A and B are shown apart, each in its own frame.
Chain A
Amino acid sequence: MHETNEWITSLGIDLGTSTTKFIVSRLQISKVSSAFSLPSYKITKRLCTYKSQIYSTPLIDDETIDYTNIAKILEREYEEAGITLDDVHTGAVIITGETANKKNARIAVNQLAERAGDFVVATAGAELESLLAGKGSGAQDFSIQTPNQVVANIDIGGGTANTAFFLNGECIGTATLRIGGRLIRLNPAGFVKGMADSFKPWLEENGFLVKKGDQISFERIKQITDEMAKNLIGYLAQSSNDEHTQLLYIDPMPQSLPTVHTWMFSGGVGELMKNSERMTLEEGTRYGDIGPFLATSLNQLMKRSSFNVLSPKQTVRATVIGAGTQTTEISGSTVFIQNGNFPIRNVPVEKVHIQNEELESDQLDHIFSETIKKGLSLHSMGLDPAFALYLSGIDYCSYEKLKKIVNILENIYSQYLPNQKNIVIICQNDMAKALGHALSIRLNGKVNCLICIDQINIQHGDYIDIGQPLPSSIIPIIVKTLVFTSDA
Chain B
Amino acid sequence: MIELTDNKLALEQLIQSTPARIGVGCSGTRPKTEIMLKLRMDHAMAVDSVYGDIPKAFFEEFHFPIVQTPCQSKEMYLKRPDLGRKLTSEGESFIREHCKKKPQVQIVISNGLSSKAIESNIRDVYPALLDSLESYGLSSGTTFYVQNGRVACMDVIGEILEPDVLVMLIGERPGLVSADSMSAYMCYKPRIGTIESNRNVISNIHRGGTQPIEAGAQIGAVLRAMLDQKTSGTRLVI
A residues apposed to B, CB below 8 Å = 1-2, 35-39, 147-148, 168, 334, 336, 396-400, 402, 429-434, 436-438, 440-441, 472
Contact = CB atoms under 8 A, between A and B. Distances in A.
Nearest to B124: A399
B202 A434 contact: no
Interface of B: 7, 9-10, 123-124, 127-128, 131-132, 134-135, 200-204, 207, 210-218, 220-221, 234, 236-238
Contacts of A431: 211, 213-214
Given A147-B10, A148-B9, A434-B216, A37 B210 contact: yes
A433 B127 CA distance: 13
B217 A36 contact: no
A144 B234 CA distance: 38
A38 B200 CA distance: 11
A440 B135 contact: yes
Contact of A438 (B128, B201, B210): B128
Contacts of B134: 437, 441
Contact of A396 (B10, B203, B207, B238): B207
B123 A38 contact: no
A393 to B, nearest CB: 16
Contacts of B217: 334, 336, 433-434, 436-437
B211 A37 contact: no
Given A1-B238, A38-B214, 20 more contacts: A1-B200, A1-B234, A35-B200, A37-B202, A37-B204, A38-B202, A39-B218, A147-B9, A398-B212, A399-B212, A429-B211, A432-B214, A434-B131, A434-B213, A436-B135, A436-B217, A437-B131, A437-B220, A440-B135, A441-B135
Contacts of A429: 211
A432 B213 CA distance: 9
A2 B238 CA distance: 7
Contacts of A402: 128, 213
User: 4 closest Cβ contacts across the A-B interface?
Assistant: A433-B217, A434-B213, A434-B217, A437-B135
Contacts of A147: 7, 9-10
A148 B13 CA distance: 12
A39 B238 contact: yes
A488 to B, nearest CB: 44
A166 B223 CA distance: 45
A429 B201 CA distance: 22
Contacts of B124: 398-399
Contacts of B211: 397, 429-431
15 contacts: A1-B234, A36-B201, A38-B210, A39-B218, A147-B7, A147-B9, A168-B9, A396-B207, A398-B212, A399-B123, A402-B213, A431-B213, A436-B135, A437-B128, A441-B135
B190 to A, nearest CB: 18
